[in-house]
Amino acid sequence: MPGVVFVNPSAGSELSAEELRELFAGHRVVECPGEEIPARVSDVVGECPDFVAVAGGDGTLRGAAQELLGTGVPLLPIPGGTRNHFALAVGVCDLETAAKAAAAGNVRRFDVGDVNGHCFLNNSSVGLYPKLVIKRESYERKMSKRRAQLVAAWEQIRHGHRFRLELRGRRHRAWLVFVGNGRYGEHLLDFTDRESVGGGVLDIRIVLADRALARTRVVLALLRGLDSSPLIVRDTCPEAELGVGRTRVEVALDGEVETLKAPLRYSVRREELAVVVPPDVDAD
């Protein structure tokens, strides 16, 4: 049957249902709030549509993907949010590209990350990372990227709270933990510079807070890169259990925060998400 296109009218780019109906002629376009999209997606899966397209940000896409995992019904991401990391990572850079992908019907399967049964398309984090990224992006409108990184990192570390964690039998005090779906760039803040969306690995980065002058040294490490400081711990693995010293913890998933029970069990759901991509997208 034809595809179903969901649009979140409150997403960052304020897409209109009328515009989508023109671009996706012959497919059903449904306008509804982002928080309702997962339930609506679940309802249409049984109809076996050619695809489920979602126009919205990464958080909206994540909610839809959660319902599509393992069903075989492919997701078509339509850039409609503030940053659109997942759509860009799979080659869908704008509305016209999304429409061409729908017409071509080229489907690939991608990994997704999982923590305690909650999926994420891009990354998950605990600690200072979400606020740090938001601040950096706001400062980039007024100063250079490098200076914005310094100011945002220093501000968050000055006012943030350390927490205890245990990973692979080792205990740490940390400012933040970042877990990426696939391999990311060498710099901790290069969260858009993803080397791959697959590969069956999680990219785990821990910023430690357990040594002398930790605040200053962390800021310097953030500017110089991951390999320049013993305060930065990096690992790539298919699964990991993260203990955080308390029973419940706030976890960011693709920019949205959920309160989950600890420990946090991270894993890769290998090629469980079918995605409609442009015909010229190469396999990883």
Given this model, what pLDDT does residue 217 score? 65
Instruction: Please indicate, yes or no, whether residues 134 and 243 belong to a single structural domain of this protein.
Output: yes
Instruction: Say whether pLDDT at 284 is over 60.
Output: no
Given this model, what pLDDT does residue 280 score? 79
Instruction: Please indicate, yes or no, whether residues 8 and 133 belong to a single structural domain of this protein.
Output: no
Instruction: Say whether pLDDT at 66 is over 50.
Output: yes
Question: What DSSP string runs through the chain?
Answer: ---EEEE-TTSTT---HHHHHHHTTTSEEEE--GGGHHHHHHHHHTT--S-EEEEE-HHHHHHHHHHHTTT-PPEEEEE-SSS-HHHHHTT--SHHHHHHHHHHT-EEEEEEEEETTEEESSEEEEESHHHHHHHHHHHTTTS-HHHHHHHHHHHHHHH---EEEEETTEEEEEEEEEEEES-B-SSTT-TT-BS-S-SS-EEEEEEE--STTHHHHHHHHHHH-GGG-TTEEEEEESEEEEE-SSSEEEEEETTEEEEEESSEEEEEEEEEEEEE--TTPPP-
Instruction: Please indicate, yes or no, whether residues 186 and 264 belong to a single structural domain of this protein.
Output: yes
Instruction: Please indicate, yes or no, whether residues 51 and 170 belong to a single structural domain of this protein.
Output: no
The answer to whether residue 275 is domain-embedded is no
The answer to whether residue 118 is domain-embedded is no
> Using 50, 70 and 90 to split pLDDT, how confident is the model at 11?
low
Instruction: Say whether pLDDT at 12 is over 60.
Output: no
Instruction: Please indicate, yes or no, whether residues 129 and 264 belong to a single structural domain of this protein.
Output: yes
CATH code (residue 196): 2.60.200.40
The answer to whether residue 89 is domain-embedded is yes
Domain that holds residue 179: 123-270
The answer to whether residue 93 is domain-embedded is yes
- Of 48, 78, 105, which marks where a domain is finished? 105
The answer to whether residue 129 is domain-embedded is yes
The answer to whether residue 20 is domain-embedded is yes
Instruction: Please indicate, yes or no, whether residues 56 and 86 belong to a single structural domain of this protein.
Output: yes
Closest CA to 78 of 68, 63, 91: 91
Instruction: Please indicate, yes or no, whether residues 245 and 140 belong to a single structural domain of this protein.
Output: yes
Query: Mean of the pLDDT values across residues 10-28?
Result: 82
The total domain count for the chain is 2
In angstroms and rounded to an integer, the radius of gyration of the C-alpha atoms of the chain is: 19
Instruction: Say whether pLDDT at 186 is over 80.
Output: no
- Of 77, 105, 133, which marks where a domain is finished? 105
Query: Mean of the pLDDT values across residues 161-171?
Result: 86
What's the chain's average pLDDT?
A: 85
Instruction: Please indicate, yes or no, whether residues 233 and 155 belong to a single structural domain of this protein.
Output: yes
Mind listing the pLDDT tens digit for each residue in 71-96? 999 999 999 877 788 999 999 999 99
Instruction: Say whether pLDDT at 47 is over 90.
Output: yes
Mind listing the pLDDT tens digit for each residue in 121-161? 999 999 876 677 777 778 888 998 778 877 887 787 777 77
Instruction: Please indicate, yes or no, whether residues 133 and 164 belong to a single structural domain of this protein.
Output: yes
Instruction: Please indicate, yes or no, whether residues 136 and 265 belong to a single structural domain of this protein.
Output: yes
- Of 70, 105, 140, which marks where a domain is finished? 105
Given this model, what pLDDT does residue 226 score? 47
Instruction: Say whether pLDDT at 178 is over 50.
Output: yes
27/233: higher pLDDT: 27
Query: Mean of the pLDDT values across residues 193-217?
Result: 77
Share of the chain above pLDDT 90, in %: 48
The answer to whether residue 82 is domain-embedded is yes
Query: Mean of the pLDDT values across residues 44-49?
Result: 95
Mind listing the pLDDT tens digit for each residue in 241-256? 999 888 999 899 998 8
Instruction: Please indicate, yes or no, whether residues 139 and 264 belong to a single structural domain of this protein.
Output: yes
Instruction: Please indicate, yes or no, whether residues 163 and 97 belong to a single structural domain of this protein.
Output: no
> Using 50, 70 and 90 to split pLDDT, how confident is the model at 206?
confident
